[in-house]
Amino acid sequence: MVAIPVHPDPTLQALRGALEARAQAEQARPYLGMSGIGQACERQLWYGFRWAARERMGADSIMRINDGHRSEDVMADYLRLAPGIRLLTRDPRTGQQFGFVDLGGHFRGHADGMISGLHQAPTTLHVWEAKATNDKKVAQLSKAKADKGEKQALKAWDPVYHAQAILYMAYSETTRHYLTCSSPGVRSIESLRTDADLDEARRLRAKAERVITAAEPLPGISNDPSWYECKWCPAHAVCHTNALPAVTCRTCAHATPEMDGDGRWSCALHGHDLSVEAQRQACDGHRYIPALLSRWGEAVDASPAENWVEYRLKDGSTFRNGPKGERSYLSRELQGLVPEMVGDEVIDTTRELFGAEVTV
């Protein structure tokens, strides 16, 4: 009997494509998140803060994240069923999530809630954080509690979640954190409590300040592109290949995150502050932070007055990231090139004769 071919459901394929397109259209957040500062690689954090690299999520990942958001609401409802529990998921002063802001508005976090009346500590106020993950990770949390003890388990289980908890306790001036972790659909639940650690909170804040104020990429966790933590990093191409980041004000040498105000960025070229929307668009005066072109060549000269930076390629020839001209390219043109194409006679002649630009 001939096997009948099975074709994918075109409706579900369209659904998955729409999910991915919507996620890609969402704008990168304008601040460094307390929820991610526990990442080991400070270079990855810098790239994220500078909008130099964004993770492209597939439909499966997007659906898992959406499931996590729904599970948080279910978990909150379940907790409120327990006698004596008082759980607030909105700050009564603002009607919004409990939020924490520091370092000139560039460092922010949002807690899932504040909870009191836990039966194991009835009088102690806790920061509450809900996580939804797969059954394997829930089991790993149970094992970490058994191996390390409840108060040490979070750091062993997930250093990123631990850093988030430590900061939320410090900024909310509480001494305990209560984490609930569930499998999809909240079919199984594990929990643990963690103590505050102000010394660790200070170290994490200092780390955030380094990331925010660094004028160029910080040291990475590895220079080996095949290292397991690098292979799956959203910044892999920008960090380990000749790929260039998006042209936004945050990858421009003229822009600076200012430490006064509320997430303020300034532009030295135009002498004014930059709105978030302006930062996303950038202007023709954009010049890459030279370190972002270091895999192309070495910066050997510059003219602040004429707004160009000159680089020497590995073959000894030079080019400029500057106004359009012979061997001089706007930043957005460089995105459509590779080092071997710089100075190509056909490309440069076409640009000159027709006023054309190289496009991605």
Residues 82 and 179 in one domain: yes
pTM of the model: 0.93
Same structural domain, 118 and 253: no
Q: How many CB atoms are closer than 10 A to CB 360?
A: 11
Q: How far is CA 213 from CA 50, 80, 206, 249, 293, in A?
A: 11, 42, 11, 15, 20
**If you write DSSP's letter for every residue of 165-218 in order, what string do you get?**
HHHHHHHHT-SEEEEEEE-GGG-SEEEEEEE--HHHHHHHHHHHHHHHH-SSPP
Cα(167)–Cα(92) distance, rounded to whole angstroms?
Answer: 21
Residues 195 and 253 in one domain: no
260 with 196, same domain: the answer is no
Whether 108 is covered by a domain: the verdict is yes
Asked if 186 and 291 sit in the same domain, the reply is: no
pLDDT of residue 257: 98
Look at residue 309 in the predicted model and tell me its pLDDT.
98
Whether 19 maps to a domain, the answer reads no
pLDDT at 1: 67
Burial class (CB in 10 A: 0-12, 13-18, 19+), 292: buried
Domain count, the chain: 2
Is 220 part of any domain? no
- Across the chain, which has 360 residues, the per-10-residue mean pLDDT values are 78 88 82 97 97 83 84 94 97 95 98 98 97 92 96 97 98 98 90 98 98 97 93 93 95 98 97 96 97 96 98 96 95 94 89 83
Domain span holding position 33:
29-213
Same domain, 266 and 202: no
Count the alpha carbons within 13 Å of 128 in the hemisphere toward its beta carbon.
Answer: 25
Q: Are residues 189 and 258 in the same domain?
A: no
Q: Does residue 89 contact residue 76 with C-beta atoms inside 8 Å?
A: yes
Three-state secondary structure call for residue 144: helix
Tokens of 47: 């790239």
Instruction: Flag whether 321 is in a domain.
Output: yes
**What is the rounded CA–CA span in Å between residue 27 and residue 104?**
21
| Cβ count within 10 A of residue 189 | 16
Residue type, 63: M
Is the domain of 35 the same as that of 169? yes
Q: Is residue 119 part of a domain?
A: yes
DSSP lists the bridge partners of residue 320 as 310, 328
Residue 269 shares a structural domain with residue 190: no
What CATH number is attached to the domain comprising 141?
3.90.320.10
In a domain, 115, yes or no: yes
The span from the CA of 68 to the CA of 187, in Å, is 13
* One domain, residues 88 and 204: yes
56 and 193, same domain (yes or no): yes
Residue 226 lies in a domain: no
pLDDT at 99: 97
235 domain residue, yes or no = no
Domain co-membership, 141 together with 42: yes
Give 239: exposed, middle or buried? Use CB within 10 Å, 0-12, 13-18, 19+: buried
